[in-house]
Structure 1
Amino acid sequence: MTPLGPAARGDYASNVLQETLELLEWPLLCEHLSSFACTPQGERVCRNLELPADFSTSQQRLLETLEIDLIDSSIEGGLNFDGVHEIRKTVERCHKGGVASGEELLFIAHTLASARRLRRQLDDPSLWPTIFALLEKLSTLPNLEKQLKYGLEEGGRVADRASSSLAGLRARRKLLQEERKSCLQALLKLYGGRLQDSLLAERNGRPVLSIRASASSEVSGLVHGRSSSGHTVFIEPQEVIPLGHRLADLELQIVDEERRLLTIWSQLVGENYFELSRLEEILLKIELALSRARYSKWLGGKSPKLYEHEDGQITLKGFRHPLLMWQNLKEQGIEVMPISIEVPSSLKVVAITGPNTGGKTVTIKSIGLAMLMAKSGLLIPCETSPSLPWCEMVLADIGDEQSIQQNLSTFSGHINRISRILDALNEQPVNALVLLDEVGAGTDPSEGSALARALLSTLADMARLTIATTHFGELKALKYSDSRFENASVAFDSETMSPTYQLLWGIPGRSNALAIAKRLGLKLDIIDQAQELLRLSGGLQVNKIISGLEEQRNRQQAAAEDAAALLARTELLHEELLSHWKQQSDRSAEIQQQARQELANSIREGQREVRKLISRLRADGADGETARQAGQKLRQLELEARSISQRRNQQWWRPEVGDRIKLLALGKSAQVVAISDDRTQVTVLCGVLRSTVPIEAIESLDGVRPTPTPQVLVKGGNRKASLNSSLLVRTSRNTVDVRGLRVHEAEAVIEEYIRGLSGCVWVIHGIGTGRLKRGLRQWLANVPYVERIGDAEPVDGGSGCTVIWLKSLTI
């Protein structure tokens, strides 16, 4: 297995990385991944999946996985790699002057045809830019494929059509074979009484008659052998021997001609060595991406957000261990319990405490495996999109390495492995994740605790993040003296004697040893004595404090759930109001349609009246009275038209998808391409720029403003609390999208949007080069009615979205 990637590594780093992969059971995950490959060579590469050596390669693999999944889902039956063969060895042999067999050359032709079919399915740079980039240098060599398929038949046999000489030789051979067969049939009748068997046999590639041994002297010919009993002699009759010689000579000529043709085709393959090698490499990359996508989809994976630098935090919500999922789904194992992990970027060391069998080891293994999956371009089985910092190395000391043969105790085994980890970090300082299981265990508790504290302090300076499990109480106090440390604990149900796989942050865990021992049936007097000793040593008081913290956390969790329920009810009320508003809007549209119909009818009626008046005035008997009556009628029609026009102008205007409108901030016309459900925001296309703006920021081309949409305001009672972005809710009404705009254009859109508003506004500008974000923040810092600005929460866009707190906040 060669999972370390192409980058050269030192011996310490290489050895300890390989050891870590074994401890995290990465080879088993790769074995599962290989079952989703399409070809034998794809399976082999999946089993030996290389870990990328740099951040850009990981990002590239992730984009390939996401795009190929969309392609595979959009094609009926999915992408098909039928006909793709491993051709590397054949191509190399032809390049060196060797001759390939007909079957090997036919495999090359089939691979070229399959590559061309796949290219047709994937060749769309607008939809699949990442996959298309892989295909840019792909050459399917149609002429070579045509020659090989023309000259070869199924099974690799050289076709008669490949050469007129070959066709002639094979025709002559067929005639001789027919002639020899007729001669042999006649000899069977002639020697019928001397035959042991009436069927023709074959010895050494020549046809023979089965003659009884007693009559063998009566048949002239060449003896090719006897039966095991000696009763039968196999004789090639003299009459067919010349025919056999001529056939043998023809066979040699045919073989030479076939060899000549195969040599020509092999030379053509050798001349295209670089194109064919590149083709196989590209096909393998696409197959690996497809295998990652199908495996990730089977896991129900979400695309991770990778941070290149150390300021990225770890967020895994509802992560399910993929190896346990395989056992559950493929082998009918137990249900996999999800775990949630969130480690801020400021932390360097996390100490996880809790009882044995509480899930500590599973937790650190899950973090390590999630890191390797994201690094390799796999999606991660979480409830929401995870975020992880990219780490060049993942190093682990998990499990027991005691050995009788090497005279190693449990403690010695841990120390040897940790020493290798430190040597690797010293030899090649990199951005690393270190996972330690039961750090300092296996020796005197006081000395082990001191050693663990010193080790974690050292790793805090050397590694990106260290996560360690422990039972030492002294390690729980490190967070109070060093801000880089944090405590976490795994929850355990002492009644059911099973872990809950819930990770509690900021609270050290209890061992629950006495509760577990009591549950397992240990004598009560021993339990009571142990509790008394624990009380005298102060440990019981510490457990009570921890228990109180856990209860407080549970109360806070219940309060958060109540708040979430209130928010859900508020959203339902909002949806109900929107539904009523939509009904009113539909009714207004119906009234508008009726008004337009009435106006059209009035216009037609007026036109008829005017035509009648003109006819009367043009009549021969028209006089002054006729003119006066016509004038009165015209004035009456004018007044009616003005009344209808006024009523029409009083109707409000509502934009629809496809309408041409005017952007007030830019003074430019645009087209409406989408409207939000609550009709408070519209997405417009202005040239090549696409932006989402509030409905108040547009008007029709004839200057009519849209009627404002009724809004639902949920009031709160604490202004200070509302300033905390974690207590505010982002909706489509307080969000503006300026991606794709220039800085000055975005400033105009935002200023038009926030004018007269209060509260918070979310501005989506994306990440990109960061120029738009920096320009907007420099401008916002000088806007007088902006109180402060900051990044949004990760679920609301993180660094790709800015939250604006306005000074005129009203609640």
Structure 2
Amino acid sequence: MIKTETLELLEWHRLCQHLSTFAATKLGTVAARGLQLPTTKTESLQLLAQTKEVYSLEQQLDSSWSFKGIEDIGESLERAKIGGLLSAQELLDLATTLAGVRRLRRTIDAKTEDLPTLTQLVTELRTYPELEQEIHHCIDDRGEVTDRANPKLAEIRSQIKRLRDKIYKILQNIVQKQGGAVQEAVITQRDGRFVIPVKAPQKDSIPGIVHDISSTGSTLYVEPNAVVQLGNQLRQAERQEKREEEAVLRALTEKVAAVQEDLEQLLAIATVLDLATARARYSWWLGANPPRFVDVNQGETVTLRQLRHPLLVWQQQHEQGTEVVPIDVQIQPQIRVVAITGPNTGGKTVTLKTIGLAALMAKAGLFIPAKEPVEIPWFEQVLADIGDEQSLQQSLSTFSGHIRRISRIIETSSLQDSLILFDEIGAGTDPAEGSALAIAILKYLAEKALLTIATTHYGELKALKYQDERFENASVEFNDQTLKPTYRLLWGIPGRSNALTIAHRLGLKSEIIEDAQQRVGVSASQELNLVISALEAERREQENKAKEATKLLEQTERFYTEVSAKASSLQERERELKISQEKAVQQAILAAKGEIAQVIRRLQQGEQTAQKAQKATEELNQIAERELAKTKQPKRTKPGYKPKVGERIKIPSLGQTGEVLSIDEEEKQLTVRFGLMKMTVAVDEIESLDGQKVETAVKAKTASSTKTKPAAAKPPVAVRTSKNTIDLRGSRVANAEADLENAIASATESGVLWIIHGKGTGRLREGIHEFLKRHPQIERFELAPQNEGGSGVTVVYLK
């Protein structure tokens, strides 16, 4: 009884309702609404493992986790078990359920190593693909028995179609011939018989059986005598069709009944998987983390940082509620009783419910909405006395109601593994007696229960911490300036008595406040409040320092990450540059080797003479000089300083700084403004604010002995003559290179060489172009215009 009351007090049913919205099937929705709490720690661990595995599975981009097609077939299985007949739609639902569960099993089997708990769950699962195939063979996607299900059925349906067509044709002829007697030219049905709407005054025009009359009596629905016999035959054929369909459904139902137990097991596993999915999705929505069950008897601490009430989170997200203020819970292993003090509406009751729900969620396999690490004991029972149990019918006062519920809690077995929650323990009676009773109850539970958390207004309970190490104080924070609670939970500090302070600030007369202070004992009250106030101030200071330290740590980590990234980037750029330089050197070596090989090949062709040897030597020297010049890396110089418009600069000769208004590049002058004055200065008279000078180009000295630079030669006119044309058609590339070398030497004066290589396969043209690219005397080359040979001729321009 007390367990059920506790679930109601903690609003567990509301949490289950929220959980059910994350289920994918009707089975899961129903199961989530009536979620049962496990009775052993092993069951809770298994549920948590299922939740973790589904959570991990759904985070993967390639996840095929879907419950499509799975239906609630429980009632159908029960009816099949007792010999009932399943409808075509029920059988179709069973087939899609088998297929849906099989897909889930395949997804699990594909990731067996990562999903050990789910794998064990579906190991013995049977999905009967042969039964699914037979159902689909006999029933189509519309939930109707197919013609192929039974040869006799197909024949009957063919007969039905012929009879309907014949009846319809006869009725159409009657409607056309007796148009004046027909109310409307339509053919309809009444009680499964084809009829014509006939005007009541002219019913004798179309003799037959009247099956219906309109509400006004002006229309009679008549089955003409001409189709009555055919209608009887149609009705018999339809009955035969119905019997054959039932025979098909009966045969399938019997096959379902034969494996009914396995199918019920399959349905149970599908429900378990959907529940695990709902828990995972709800946990993800809450931003929750998986709990670890700790053993306080082994010295482990209860840790729930930034814990939020799940129902308040739902209210904030779906009902535009206020922002949820998280609480921090950290209970040392020796603590057995926590006394929470503080003002009314300060959040004490919400704190109790939050901790209670966290314990139940962990037990049910749900993640807890708190920051990692989430560490909480496994409680065999969660028992609570929260709220007012006043009853006029039973003549119970508030105090009596509390005592009756506390008595039931204390009498419950297995207190040693229980979490006990008391709201305003000892309230509702004389403060002195209520306080004494509360202390006695809490000391009893310190011996018997695993953990007890109680809220109270009694100051005497604050002192228990200093008398017994099993007791701890906590309080809900109260802002003295705004006279409002902050809803934050402070550990190790009891709540201050704020009643007189609040009353004074709300305007109650000073003499009344002073009289009240004298009655409660001025010195003792002030001394206790001063101590608590000092503790609260010290705590706030430590929290501020901790926040500052956290910010500094975050900045340091960010700077370290940025520096590391830049260092890695520089190393990568250096590596890429080195690789690029090595590739360039290799390419230069290959090119030089190619040119040297050509020189040697030309020297070997024909007669070797001293003149040719001398020429080859000169060519080799040119190649060496050119390639060496390529590989030499020029010294990099720091780019000179150049002022920009709008920039601040210094004018050392005037001892002023100014702003650049305009720059004359040709005259090497700048217009500068400083103060109210503008002036034009030479670029070499200024410098940047950090002392950089402007680099100016040195003008070459003019002298009679200095050679004037010749004007750039105009590009040669591409005039084709017999002297600057060479025909290489039919030659091989190796032979053509020697002829080309001679032709280039002869065409130096004209500056243009026409090479006729023809179109053909294009290999000769490609070989010639590769040779021209490497030749030091070639400036550029291009294909000739279409009227000069197009792609069969190449025009070469020499340096």
Structure-2-length-normalised TM-score: 0.69
Q: For residues 268 and 276 of structure 2, what CA distance do their matches in structure 1 show?
A: 12
Q: Does residue 229 of the first structure (1) align with residue 205 of the second (2)?
A: no
Distance 2:221 2:196 in 1: 6
1:253 is aligned to 2:240: yes
State the match for 2:58 in structure 1. Answer: 72
> In the alignment, what sits opposite 1:492?
478
In structure 2, C-alpha distance between the alignment counterparts of 1:237 and 1:591, rounded to whole Å: 99
> For 1:631-678, what per-residue CA distance to the aligned partner results, in whole angstroms no more than 9, with x for missing partners?
xxxxxxxxxxxxxxxxxxxxxxxxxxxxxxxxxxxxxxxxxxxxxxxx
Quote the residue 2:497 is aligned against.
Answer: 511
SS across alignment from 2:340: strand
- What SS class does the counterpart of residue 83 from structure 2 fall into? coil
Moved more, 264-273 or 71-80: 71-80
Structure 2 equivalent of residue 265 of structure 1:
252
**Corresponding residue number in structure 2 for 1:697:** none
Answer yes or no: is 1:238 the counterpart of 2:221. Answer: no
State whether residues 310 and 389 of structure 1, in contact with CA within 8 Å, keep that contact through their aligned partners in structure 2: no
Q: Given the superposition, is the C-alpha separation of residues 577 and 117 from structure 1 closer, same or farther in structure 2, using an over 3 Å criterion?
A: closer
Give runs of aligned pairs for residues 665-744 of structure 1, distance below 5 A. Answer: none
Counterpart position of 1:449: 435
> Quick one: distance in 1 between partners of 2:98 and 2:475?
56
Does structure 1 residue 177 correspond to structure 2 residue 167? no
Residue range with higher mean Cα deviation, 529-538 or 470-479: 529-538
**AA matched with 1:151:** C
Residues in 2 aligned to 1:327 and 1:565: alpha-carbon distance in whole angstroms: 32
Superposition deviation, residue 161 in structure 1 = 1.3
C-alpha displacement of 1:363 = 1.0
Equivalent residue, structure 2, for 1:214: 201
The one of 503, 528, 533 equivalent to 2:519 is 533
- Alignment equivalent of 2:23, drawn from 34, 37, 50: 37
1:351, 1:476 within 8 Å by CA — same for their partners in 2?
A: yes
Match of 1:314 in 2: 302
Inter-partner Cα distance in structure 2 for 1:583 and 1:354: 56
Worse-superposed segment, 577-586 or 286-295: 577-586
Question: What is the distance in 2 between the residues matched to 1:208 and 1:166?
Answer: 27
Q: Which amino acid aligns with 1:132?
A: T
Give 1:156's aligned amino acid: G
Cα distance in 2, alignment partners of residues 578 and 204 from structure 1: 86
- Using the alignment, how far apart are the partners of 1:213 and 1:57 within structure 2? 76
Equivalent residues in 2 for 1:55-94 (5 A)?
A: 55-75=41-61, 79-94=65-80
Cα contact 1:55–1:308 (8 A) shared by 2: no
**Partner residue, 2:290:** 303
Query: SS of the residue aligned with 1:229?
Result: coil
Kindly provide the CA deviation profile for residues 584-610 of structure 1, in whole angstroms up to 9, marking residues without a partner as x: 98899999999x99xx9xxxxxxxxxx
Q: 2:321 aligned with 1:333, yes or no? A: yes
Spell out, residue by residue over 1:376-410, the C-alpha distance to the aligned partner (whole angstroms, 9 max, x if none): 11111112221000001100111111122222221
Partner of 1:806: none
Are positions 1:49 and 2:35 aligned together? yes
CA contact (8 A) 1:313 1:389 kept: no
Tell me if the contact between 1:347 and 1:484 (Cα under 8 Å) persists in the aligned partners: yes
Mapped contact 1:310–1:431 kept (Cα < 8 A): no
Q: Deviations over 1:480-517 (max 9, x none)?
A: 22221111111111222332232222221113112323
Q: How many residues were matched structurally?
A: 586
| 1:28 CA displacement | 0.8
Alignment CA distance shift 1:237-1:460 (3 Å):
same
- Structure 2 contact 294–302 (Cα < 8 Å) conserved: no
2:431 is aligned with what amino acid? P
The separation in 1 between residues aligned to 2:204 and 2:141, in whole angstroms, is: 47
1:128-170 Cα shifts (integer Å, max 9, x gaps): 2222222211222111111111110123110111111111100
Distance apart, 1:558 and its partner CA: 4.4
1:482 equivalent in structure 2: 468
For residue 268 of structure 2, what is the aligned residue in structure 1? 281
> After superposition, where does 1:548-559 map in structure 2 within 5 Å?
548-559=534-545
Q: Does 1:458 align with 2:444?
A: yes
Gaps of 5+ in 2: 587-799
Q: Distance between the aligned counterparts of 2:529 and 2:230, measured in 1?
A: 102
For 1:413, which of 395, 401, 408 is the aligned residue? Answer: 401
The root-mean-square deviation of aligned C-alpha atoms, in Å, is 3.0
SS in structure 1 opposite 2:486? Answer: strand
Q: Take 1:100 and 1:227, find their aligned partners in 2: how far apart are those partners?
A: 38
- Could you say which residue in structure 2 is the equivalent of 1:17? 3
Q: 1:346 and 1:495, CA in 2 relative to 1: closer, same or farther beyond 3 A? A: same
Q: Deviations over 1:708-741 (max 9, x none)?
A: xxxxxxxxxxxxxxxxxxxxxxxxxxxxxxxxxx
Code of the residue aligned with 2:410 in structure 1: it is: L
Distance, in Å, in 2 between the alignment partners of 1:67 and 1:97 is: 40
Q: Shift of residue 538 of structure 1?
A: 2.4
What whole-Å deviation, never above 9, does each CA across 1:195-232 have from its counterpart, x for those lacking one? Answer: 33332343222122333333334543223243333333
**Aligned amino acid, residue 27 of structure 1:** H
1:660-712, CA deviations, whole angstroms, 9 ceiling, x for partnerless residues?
xxxxxxxxxxxxxxxxxxxxxxxxxxxxxxxxxxxxxxxxxxxxxxxxxxxxx
Q: Larger Rg: 1 or 2?
A: 2
Deviations for 1:360-384, whole angstroms, at most 9, x for unmatched residues?
Answer: 1111111101111111111111122
* Counterpart contact for 1:227–1:233, Cα < 8 Å: yes
- CA distance, structure 1, for counterparts of residue 410 and residue 243 of structure 2: 65
1:193 alignment partner in structure 2: 180
Structure-1 residue corresponding to 2:339:
351
* Code of the aligned partner of 1:191: Q
Instruction: Determine helix, strand or coil for the equivalent of 1:207.
Output: strand
Unaligned stretches of 5+ in structure 1? Answer: 1-14, 601-811
One-letter code aligned to 1:58: S
Q: Aligned partner of 1:405: which letter?
A: Q
Q: 1:395 to 1:109 in 2, by over 3 A?
A: same
Residue-by-residue CA offset, 1:410-442 (whole Å, 9 max, x unaligned): 1111112112212223xx555100000000001
The structural deviation recorded for 1:521 is: 3.9
CA contact (8 A) 2:497 2:529 kept: no
Q: Secondary structure at 1:199's aligned position in 2?
A: coil
Distance 1:397 1:287, change over 3 A: same
* Cα distance in 1 between the residues matched to 2:57 and 2:569: 40
2:678 matched residue in structure 1: none
Change (3 A) 1:231 1:496: same
Distance 1:104 1:580 in 2: 65
C-alpha change, 1:24 and 1:275, in structure 2 (3 Å) is: same
Identical columns (%): 46
Q: Counterparts of 1:153 and 1:554 in 2: how far apart (Å)?
A: 71
2:96 counterpart of 1:128: no
Report the 3-state secondary structure (helix = DSSP H, G, I; strand = E; otherwise coil) of the residue aligned with 1:553.
helix
Change (3 A) 1:294 1:242: same
In 1, are the aligned partners of 2:296 and 2:333 still within 8 Å (CA)?
no
Deviation of the 1:562 alpha carbon: 5.8
Secondary structure of 2:269's counterpart equals helix
What is the CA-CA distance between 1:456 and the residue it aligns to? 0.7
Alpha-carbon distance change, 496 to 206 in structure 1, aligned in 2, over 3 angstroms: same
Aligned to 1:376: 364
1:738-753 pair list within 5 angstroms: none
SS at match of 2:411: helix
* Matching of residues 387-426 of structure 1 within 5 Å: 387-425=375-413
| Shift in Å, 1:173 | 0.2
